[in-house]
Amino acid sequence: MKYFKKSISYLLLILVLIPSSVLAYSKYLIPGGENVAIEVNFSGVLIVGLYDIDGVNPGTDAGLKIGDTILKVNNNKIVNIDELIENVNKATNNQIEITYSRNNKVNTTKLNLINSEGVLKTGLYVKDTLTGIGTLTYIDPESKLYGALGHEIIESNTGTMLEINNGHIYDSEVINIERSENGNPGSKIASLKLNDKKGTIYENTNKGIFGKYTSQLPDKKKYKVASIDDIKLGEASIYTVISGNEIKEYKINILKITKNDTKNILFEINDSELLKETGGIIQGMSGSPIIQGNYIIGAVTHVVIENPNHGYGIFITNMLEEAEN
């Protein structure tokens, strides 16, 4: 999925009561690698822009900002744009009360509506859904819970992590590649098959998206979940799609292992075929499983902008533990 560029850029659940020493996930996982389309519905309606009407900016005057999420209008809960429009059209005195969230704090304000050519306008550009692509990391064969991306979904206009209400993953086919170059990460170009649903999305976190896989489980070799101590420097592989739906294995070299929150595995791509086709890590590879021997050890999460044949990955155990919380 495409996000803001930084010195290091993003490429791309059930709570159970168990003893802290016991893990609910399986010891063996089905590795992913499939390119998936992602569609999420926000918890409310997200403000992605503000505009002037006849020289007046109602949103700015009301103290609203890009990235705010509208939760209620005149104390009526809002979950999509249609409900926002319906409540705007019911407004009296050309004013509505908006309840919104910003930085996890809920606020209220008065928004003045402007009648322009017989239409009540808010001066707000808004979204209630987002679509993009990423890579499936794993499926737990026993619970059918899955993890993907290895990092959060970020709305490109605001640069903020989305609080989602629900969503789905779908089949997707890679139709073209924009190659990475130093200072400019490339990306997968894909078609989204929104009639071929693969699973639901329950949660969006800084360690990935998680949900229930609802399609038939793929018939693949299962890999053992690696503990941190199982992971070694040196040769490993990633599984990903760069053309059509074909998952292929590409060689990488693990350079450094760090026990922090998300950027756990520093690696370089040394697979000549992948470097020729993509120039390195590209956006859309987020979530590509990292395999070492008979272990699934993590997922691709970041590209190093200045040197895109280098990237970072997250430990698979960090994703699995996040899915339990």
Q: Active site includes 271? A: yes
The model carries a pTM of 0.84
* β-pair partners for 50: 124
How far is it, in rounded angstroms, from Cα 74 to Cα 93? 13
Q: Which of 9, 172, 271, 288 is catalytic?
A: 271
Strand-pairing partners, residue 214, are none
CA neighbours within 13 Å on the CB side: how many for 65? 8
**Could you list the pLDDT tens digit for every one of the 325 residues in the chain?**
443 333 333 343 222 323 333 457 899 999 999 999 999 988 889 999 999 998 999 999 999 999 899 999 999 999 899 999 999 999 888 999 999 998 889 999 999 999 888 888 999 999 998 899 999 999 999 999 999 999 998 877 667 777 777 899 999 999 999 999 999 999 999 999 989 999 999 999 999 999 999 999 999 999 999 999 999 999 999 999 999 999 999 999 999 999 987 899 999 999 999 999 999 999 999 999 999 999 999 999 999 999 999 999 999 999 999 987 7
List the catalytic residue out of 171, 286, 302, 310: 286
Q: How far apart are CA 282 and CA 158, in angstroms?
A: 21
**Is 286 one of the annotated active-site residues of the chain?**
yes
> Among 151, 168, 302, 310, which one carries the catalytic annotation?
151
Asked about 302 being catalytic, the answer comes back as no
Cα–Cα distance for residue pair 203/211, rounded to 1 Å: 7
Place of tokens 């059509």: 244
H or E element at residue 97? strand 95-102
Q: Report how far Cα 106 is from the mean position of its chain's Cα atoms.
A: 24
